Structure 1
Amino acid sequence: MAKILILFAHPALEKSRVHAQLLTAIRGMQGITLHDLYEVYPDMNIDVRHEQSLLLQHDIILFQHPLYWYSAPAIIKQWMDLVLEHGWAYGRTGTALRGKTAGNVISAGSQETAYHKEGWHRHTASEFMLPFRQTAALCNMQYIEPYVIYGTHKLNYSGISEAAIAYKQMLEQLRDGQLKIQ
């Protein structure tokens, strides 16, 4: 069974309908560590050694966040800038994360059809995650395609509940090695 670290970032979780339900669905799951970066670091003063220790204890690292301006909330960038140090995460001697897996779990307000070359956003959600994909490669990690929940602005309670169940099932499959990682 793989150990999964979810680095969660939502600067306004109290206003979130979707992520609040996703977190409720996965809380307490065996093999899953949920780490809310805004809750732990409201001042964005990140404890680098603690974060590196968490990374070493897990096999799969997922960044869970809303898609903000085609990227992630600011604390994730701050976390990456500080935690993924040269000589530790990358570089000639930076091998701490070698062989681990990384990925994103994102919510997007628009429907999936908007995330295509001919769509409103002119790119796929996966293409917007290029900095994460390249960071994983630099750190000798395998990157898995993002898990995306589309159309969150129009989801009703039933749709959100279904998304939360599907997310939990995906994590169980990933944790238990039943989900093919490409």
Structure 2
Amino acid sequence: MSKPRILILYAHPAAHRSRANRLMIEAVQGLDHVQVHDLYESYPDFHLDVRHEQQLLSQSDLIVLQHPIHWYSMPALQKEWLDVVLQRGWAFGHDATALRGKSLWLAASTGGDHAAYQTSGRHGHSFDAFLPPYQQTAQLCGMRWLEPLVIYGAHQVGEAALEEHARRYRRLLESYPDWPAADAPQPTAA
């Protein structure tokens, strides 16, 4: 049986300044069943080729949204991508089956450390409180929502921890959908 096809929708508006996301992308380069699609590199003008994007989705079994968390959500181009690519009648709505049965996975980095994403922390909520739009998108499109992979405090995490996080990301993508319990997504805290 062939490996599931994986599409990483990478959305980092300042990729050249990234530590965590850059290492994660570097770690998965060369995996033959994984396609990294850099949205900011492909669409610097935000003019998306909807048919091309839908074709990429149609060919994939797992769709990964990889990005830093911006204002408790996704970067602007990732949101634009959702707004224009996941069209009614194609991704959701009566008889729309293009994404049904596929999986959606968030691989995110935060600037705030794990303690900031607690009810007693700076953000006043756990990270899970910010996930409903992602989860609802998966549900609306008939997709399976997977527990996110999060690295907290990406600016403060040491190199060794970042490198281990990137290796774990690769292991998870290599073994999808048969994630060993030891590697199942759990947040990496700063």
Percentage identity across paired residues of the two chains = 45
Structure 2 matches for 1:19-168, cutoff 5 A?
19-168=21-170
Q: What SS class does the counterpart of residue 68 from structure 1 fall into?
A: coil
Q: Mark the CA change 1:125 to 1:32 in structure 2 (over 3 Å): closer, same or farther.
A: same
Q: Is the 8 A contact 2:19 2:155 kept in 1?
A: no
Root-mean-square deviation over aligned CA pairs: 1.5
| Runs of 4 or more above 6 Å deviation | none
Shift of 1:120: 2.1
Under a length normalisation based on structure 1, what TM-score does the superposition of the two structures give?
Answer: 0.93
Deviation string for 1:63-103 (max 9, x for gaps)? Answer: 00001110010001110111000000001021111111112
CA distance in 1, matches of 2:173, 2:120: 31
CA distance in 1, matches of 2:73, 2:156: 21
Which stretches in structure 1 are left out of the alignment for 5+ residues? none
Which stretches in structure 2 are left out of the alignment for 5+ residues? 185-190
Under a length normalisation based on structure 2, what TM-score does the superposition of the two structures give?
Answer: 0.89
CA distance in 1, matches of 2:19, 2:10: 15
CA distance in 1, matches of 2:105, 2:160: 26
Matched residue count? 180
Q: What SS class does the counterpart of residue 159 from structure 1 fall into?
A: helix
Q: Is the 8 A contact 1:113 1:119 kept in 2?
A: yes
CA distance in 1, matches of 2:22, 2:130: 23
CA distance in 1, matches of 2:52, 2:180: 29
